[in-house]
Structure 1
Amino acid sequence: MSTYSDRLKALRDQLKSDRLDGFVVPLTDEHMSEYVGEYAQRLAWLTGFQGSAGNAVVLPEAAAIFTDGRYTLQVREQVDGNDWQYVPVPQQSIAGWLSEFAPEGGRIGYDPWLHTRDWVKEATKALAERGAELVAVTRNPIDAVWSDHPSPSLARLTVHPDEAAGRSSADKRQEVADWLAERKADAVVLSALDSIAWLLNIRGRDVDHTPVALSYAIVNADGTADFFVAPEKMTDAVAQHLGNAVRVHPRTAFDDALRGFTGKRVAADPERAVAAIFDGLDAGGAKILSVRDPVVLAKALKNPAEIAGHKAAQARDGAAIVRFLRWVSETAPKGGLTELDCVAKLQAFRGETGLLKDTSFDTISAAGGHGASPHYRVDAASNAELKMGQLYLVDSGGQYEDGTTDITRVLPIGEPTAEMRDRFTRVLKGHIAIDVAQWPEGITGGQLDSFARRPLWEVGLDYAHGTGHGVGAFLAVHEGPQRIAAPNYAGSGQSEILRAGMICSNEPGYYKAGEYGIRIENLALIVERTLDDGAKVLGFETLTWAPIERDLINPALLTEDELNWLNNYHARVIEKIGPLLEGEDKAWLMEKCAPVERSTS
């Protein structure tokens, strides 16, 4: 089908054939993943939207796409407004929209392998107000009209060595068994791909940017596990690594396995396990415990080996970033340099480390007004030249066996305006406020979020995304359960207590539509500290090392403490990254990290 309008028409024809009056299209897979394999890119195939969070609803006479504030500009660039209504979330929910626009008495379809049970309950209730019903489909109607629909990946599994993981799979599974014993439960169903990868110390190549494998796992009270994965993905090395305590089954056997727990107490995560998993357990007569996947918190609390690996990966990655920033700053003013050129060059610098496994997400390479879309994704159609007078924003990361990186920096192409410097400095002040924060145990990420916003709030400005997210260890670049985000900003996790061992991003920003975007992002480890009076507090230890653009800073806006933070940070950058660079790259680093003085204009 040549156009997205054609695809929308084909879906409507298929819905009519299936006796449905609408269908809900999420951007996820059977594992509630953020990044999904090509076979699960149904929302992108139908609408053209390339963001990493969104949903759509198709009705006979209306269609709507739901995105949060990160994608306000992007969705309008990529999705045809003649075919689709743009609906902002969280201001409006899918259920709320359906209660207003669904045909009275209509049948609205959904794929139970792509939605949570709570969402099904919410949508069912909303539709009931219009005398309509929510109908589970056995075959996704998009798959029926997607003629060249890709098959799920069959890439081979790999072993994640215990030295990098810091703990054996047997040790991790015993921890889950102890968790089950505390709850007098017989088993727990794991469907989140990063949970399974972490638990079994395996990695995969089924999803771009996240080294996971399409699979399910059921961990039993005796510490054994049943692992459901396509047989083609197994290797002798992986089988030997898993051992006899992990029984391997075809992935297709998982649905039937859910029905084998009659009378047993089985735990499943209502946020990460799809409705079909609960349906299967119900059908088999299991007694379901709706609780969070026990791996989620254990995985977030990094052990010494993971922390050491992260630090090594961050230093290596930082050196590649420095080489890239120097190259952009010297190449862009000559003209002809494009956003895609930058993506390729940055990946090449990372690749020259010899240790890069993948990028941790699609590089956000954004010149000028493109930077105002926080999750902009450049392609051949949008590819723009970096021009004099613009800001260039680059948000990128690498996947290495010892760690996952995520960093954002902004460069001026030519001379920045006074406004650009003011906004950048306010974002820097917010970044510093998070970095130096200390708090007693029991504080949540949501409680820290406003620290980063205050310098912008003081002049009536803000940004429409959270301030920080968790990061995995050679796993997902966006990892829960923790976040630094107030409730009114996109995403969950703002009520999660921050604990030592968690890694968070620190990334306040500012975006001026059509003109520029600013974001300063480092990763930081939460550590415990002892104050002079013996009191215990938590705080951040910076992990990311790369210059913060001095030409965009207005020192007059910085307090003495903030200026000291900046100069101390740059001194540490030289200490961490300097030994990994040489020649002109090292000279450039030294210049960019020289102390900033109050008298600088």
Structure 2
Amino acid sequence: MAKKELELLRELMKKKEVDICLIPTADSHESEYPGAHFAARRFLSGFTGSAGTLAVSADWSGLWTDARYFLQAEAQLTGSGITLYRMGEEGVPALEEEISVRLPRGGTLAYDGTVVSRRLGADMRRTAERRFGRILLEDLPGQIWEDRPPISSEPVFELDMRYAGQSRTEKIRKIREQMEAAGAEAHILTTLDDIAWLMNLRGNDVPCSPVFMSYCILTLSAVYLFVQEKAFSRELREKLRGDGIELREYGGFYEALPAVCSGKTVMLDSGKVNEQIFGVLEPETSIVDCPNPSELLKAVKNETEADNLREAHRKDGLAVTKFLYWLKKQIGREEITELSAAEYLENCRREQDHYLEPSFTTIAAYGPNAAVVHYSATEESSAVLKPEGLFLVDSGGQYLEGTTDITRTVVLGNITGEQKKHFTAVLKGMLALGDAHFLHGCRGTNLDYLAREPLWAMGLDYKHGTGHGVGYLLNVHEAPNGFRWKMVPERMDSAVLEPGMVTSDEPGVYLAGKYGIRTENLLLCTEAEKTEYGQFLKFEFLTMVPIDLDGIDRTEMGPEDMDRLNRYHRQVYKTLSPYLEGEELAWLKEATRKLV
């Protein structure tokens, strides 16, 4: 039975003579985790995952999402009348293919032009043209959403140079150098993390990402920053103006575009800017379509950021280690649920200096729930942890010193030989990738096999990338670096790996209805030796948290695997032991003991 919200949308579509309405998971800035104001897809479908696109017609509706959310979407869409389309699976049509089939000849396809990227919009336009149809850029869901939350406008703060390591004027200079090299006279920047990085500012307008609602236009002589000025103190506004940045109201961005960009050659990323921008630019505007220069610049952390990240992971490692000690000690002695465990972990992080918020919603999953890759516990689903089986917790924090992301699978009691074998294979893959030694020029696609090989040898795999880039006090998922064995259109994350890039290393095993295992560390790419063959690179583990030795099948560990684990645990103990005492210190020593 269709949700009442879908029926209200269909009534409006009928009045406006719309055949299909497209609702993506996006805000006006292509943020991964849009704020509540932009959660139209969730409002209409009930699906709470962070990725997915909904399409609705008079007698059909479908939702496309990736493998991380197959099980979650299947459960949440039950009874909604919405068909689940599992992206990337054999025989499953792509979004544009299905719309092309279902859009009547001469029909109308509608979507909000401010939340659909130019790249997706171009695909939809071609689809409509093939059916001799038309596009209507209109926010239909917003017209039936009576209690829609307002756009967030939380206070904005400046990131001090001891954290940023580089001034905004220097960053602007580097962007302009690339503009000039590309022959561009203006640059439109709409992605919130790029703007926050460029301006050395942070906010709180998007869940788990310390960014603020904004647009930016750079020319070779001016910088226009469109923001909600009420979120800026007078002192901060004056400092920005002193650096040559002209503040304008957030709502005036589209009106200003023609005046600032008319007759100019404009640099932008069509995969990041929205359709509405192209709708208001003058037709004669010349476009340089390329990745935002800030994407690569911010991915390569400077020395100050790298040093701060080590400190952030020391504090985060301390918090997670205290949590693991508590969990191991209290399991079976008191009732612990997925939700209460996540809350305890959050409290451990709050005890650390300069902690701000989680970097994403904690995944705390016991038993079969851990087989759902991006499981999110609710009051209804939250399982009680028992002194048996496996508990997976994937979490992270935002600190002034940087962003963290870590997964540990914890043995709560007796586990099977199969579980130990899978736990060990995942661990071996994670350690092998972290120990990689490779020539500059390699991409994540070149190295992904190191993490998957122990699982592929067993005929197993996992349907997500092995790793993603991580921002500095920004988005926990950051392009352009990553690890995956094949490229997928929705994840452009296989850039050449550069010293200073931070990437997650997180292989896993997921057996539906049984259990899930994932072990994740963050890696900092650093220089190794330079020889006649070129510059070699390596990784440094940033994450400093013990790996549960109770899950390891030692017969599956070769001498090299054992050495890698022991070296890692020596570093964990050296890093954390000065900050622990008593029973916690004794537990850490045992948890990082040498395996032979």
Which residue is equivalent to 2:36? 38
Which residue is equivalent to 2:529? 530
Following the alignment from structure 2 to structure 1, what is the Cα–Cα distance between the partners of residues 569 and 63?
43
Which residue is equivalent to 1:361? 360
- The alpha-carbon deviation at position 351 of structure 1 amounts to 0.4
Residue 270 of structure 2 is aligned to residue 266 of structure 1: no
Following the alignment from structure 1 to structure 2, what is the Cα–Cα distance between the partners of residues 22 and 318?
49
- The alpha-carbon deviation at position 332 of structure 1 amounts to 2.3
Give 1:163-312 correspondences, 5 Å limit. 163-222=162-221, 224-244=222-242, 245-260=244-259, 261-283=261-283, 285-312=284-311
- The alpha-carbon deviation at position 523 of structure 1 amounts to 0.4
- The alpha-carbon deviation at position 531 of structure 1 amounts to 5.9
Following the alignment from structure 1 to structure 2, what is the Cα–Cα distance between the partners of residues 494 and 479?
8
Following the alignment from structure 1 to structure 2, what is the Cα–Cα distance between the partners of residues 9 and 248?
42
Q: 1:226 to 1:503 in 2, by over 3 A?
A: same
Which residue is equivalent to 2:110? 109
- The alpha-carbon deviation at position 98 of structure 1 amounts to 0.7
Deviation string, structure 1 residues 198-257 (Cα, Å, up to 9, x no partner): 0001001101100000000111213x3100011211212321331330000001111011
Matching residue within 43, 61, 65 for 2:63 = 65
Deviation string, structure 1 residues 328-365 (Cα, Å, up to 9, x no partner): 11222235210110111011000011321010000001
Q: 1:130 to 1:491 in 2, by over 3 A?
A: closer
Residue 440 of structure 2 is aligned to residue 441 of structure 1: yes
Following the alignment from structure 1 to structure 2, what is the Cα–Cα distance between the partners of residues 227 and 10?
38
Q: Secondary structure at the match of 2:332?
A: helix
Q: 1:113 to 1:346 in 2, by over 3 A?
A: same
Following the alignment from structure 2 to structure 1, what is the Cα–Cα distance between the partners of residues 533 and 253?
52
Following the alignment from structure 1 to structure 2, what is the Cα–Cα distance between the partners of residues 330 and 77?
34
- Any conservation in 2 of the 1:524–1:540 contact (CA below 8 Å)? yes
Q: Secondary structure at the match of 1:112?
A: coil
Moved more, 329-338 or 471-480: 329-338
Following the alignment from structure 2 to structure 1, what is the Cα–Cα distance between the partners of residues 251 and 127?
33
Deviation string, structure 1 residues 110-144 (Cα, Å, up to 9, x no partner): 1111112221222222233444333222xx11111
- The alpha-carbon deviation at position 152 of structure 1 amounts to 0.5
Q: 1:256 to 1:12 in 2, by over 3 A?
A: same
Following the alignment from structure 2 to structure 1, what is the Cα–Cα distance between the partners of residues 383 and 487?
33
Q: 1:335 to 1:515 in 2, by over 3 A?
A: farther
Deviation string, structure 1 residues 371-404 (Cα, Å, up to 9, x no partner): 0111111111211111243210000000001110
Which residue is equivalent to 1:52? 50
Following the alignment from structure 2 to structure 1, what is the Cα–Cα distance between the partners of residues 2 and 206?
24
Following the alignment from structure 2 to structure 1, what is the Cα–Cα distance between the partners of residues 226 and 202?
14
Which residue is equivalent to 2:161? 162
Following the alignment from structure 1 to structure 2, what is the Cα–Cα distance between the partners of residues 530 and 514?
47
- Any conservation in 2 of the 1:405–1:477 contact (CA below 8 Å)? yes
Q: Secondary structure at the match of 1:272?
A: coil
Give the letter for the 2:262 counterpart: T
Following the alignment from structure 1 to structure 2, what is the Cα–Cα distance between the partners of residues 458 and 302?
35
Moved more, 120-129 or 205-214: 120-129
- Any conservation in 1 of the 2:468–2:493 contact (CA below 8 Å)? no
- The alpha-carbon deviation at position 18 of structure 1 amounts to 2.1
Moved more, 514-523 or 180-189: 180-189
- The alpha-carbon deviation at position 492 of structure 1 amounts to 1.9
Deviation string, structure 1 residues 278-299 (Cα, Å, up to 9, x no partner): 222245x422111111111000
Q: 1:4 to 1:308 in 2, by over 3 A?
A: farther
Give the letter for the 1:572 counterpart: Q
Moved more, 335-344 or 406-415: 335-344
Moved more, 530-539 or 232-241: 530-539
- The alpha-carbon deviation at position 581 of structure 1 amounts to 1.5
- The alpha-carbon deviation at position 172 of structure 1 amounts to 0.6
Give the letter for the 2:99 counterpart: L
Which residue is equivalent to 1:394? 393
Which residue is equivalent to 1:6? 4
- Any conservation in 2 of the 1:178–1:221 contact (CA below 8 Å)? no
Give the letter for the 2:588 counterpart: L
Following the alignment from structure 2 to structure 1, what is the Cα–Cα distance between the partners of residues 282 and 364?
47
- Any conservation in 1 of the 2:394–2:406 contact (CA below 8 Å)? yes
Instruction: Could you tell me which runs of 5 or more consecutive residues in structure 2 were left unpaired when the two chains were aligned.
Output: none
- Any conservation in 2 of the 1:281–1:288 contact (CA below 8 Å)? no
Following the alignment from structure 1 to structure 2, what is the Cα–Cα distance between the partners of residues 259 and 93?
35
Matching residue within 23, 39, 56 for 1:25 = 23
Following the alignment from structure 1 to structure 2, what is the Cα–Cα distance between the partners of residues 254 and 490?
29
TM-score of the pair, normalised by structure 2: 0.96
Residue 125 of structure 2 is aligned to residue 124 of structure 1: yes
Deviation string, structure 1 residues 151-190 (Cα, Å, up to 9, x no partner): 0011111111112100011111111111122122211011
Moved more, 548-557 or 76-85: 76-85
- Any conservation in 2 of the 1:526–1:538 contact (CA below 8 Å)? yes
Which residue is equivalent to 1:557? 556
Following the alignment from structure 1 to structure 2, what is the Cα–Cα distance between the partners of residues 82 and 358?
33
Q: Secondary structure at the match of 1:311?
A: helix
Following the alignment from structure 2 to structure 1, what is the Cα–Cα distance between the partners of residues 161 and 307?
14
Following the alignment from structure 2 to structure 1, what is the Cα–Cα distance between the partners of residues 333 and 75?
29
Q: Secondary structure at the match of 1:514?
A: coil
Give the letter for the 1:275 counterpart: E
Residue 92 of structure 2 is aligned to residue 94 of structure 1: no
Q: Secondary structure at the match of 1:211?
A: coil
- The alpha-carbon deviation at position 488 of structure 1 amounts to 5.2
- Any conservation in 2 of the 1:471–1:477 contact (CA below 8 Å)? yes
Which residue is equivalent to 2:136? 135
Q: Secondary structure at the match of 2:281?
A: helix
Q: 1:81 to 1:125 in 2, by over 3 A?
A: farther
State the aligned residue count.
Answer: 591
- Any conservation in 2 of the 1:108–1:133 contact (CA below 8 Å)? yes
- Any conservation in 1 of the 2:483–2:494 contact (CA below 8 Å)? no
- The alpha-carbon deviation at position 430 of structure 1 amounts to 1.0
Following the alignment from structure 1 to structure 2, what is the Cα–Cα distance between the partners of residues 225 and 62?
46
Give the letter for the 1:100 counterpart: V
Q: Secondary structure at the match of 2:121?
A: helix
Give the letter for the 1:513 counterpart: A
Following the alignment from structure 2 to structure 1, what is the Cα–Cα distance between the partners of residues 35 and 80?
29
Q: Secondary structure at the match of 2:287?
A: strand
Following the alignment from structure 2 to structure 1, what is the Cα–Cα distance between the partners of residues 326 and 104?
56
- Any conservation in 1 of the 2:120–2:271 contact (CA below 8 Å)? no
- The alpha-carbon deviation at position 319 of structure 1 amounts to 0.4
Following the alignment from structure 2 to structure 1, what is the Cα–Cα distance between the partners of residues 488 and 461?
11
Q: Secondary structure at the match of 2:421?
A: helix
- Any conservation in 1 of the 2:194–2:294 contact (CA below 8 Å)? yes
Give the letter for the 2:379 counterpart: A
Moved more, 327-336 or 377-386: 327-336
- Any conservation in 2 of the 1:4–1:47 contact (CA below 8 Å)? no
Q: 1:333 to 1:533 in 2, by over 3 A?
A: farther
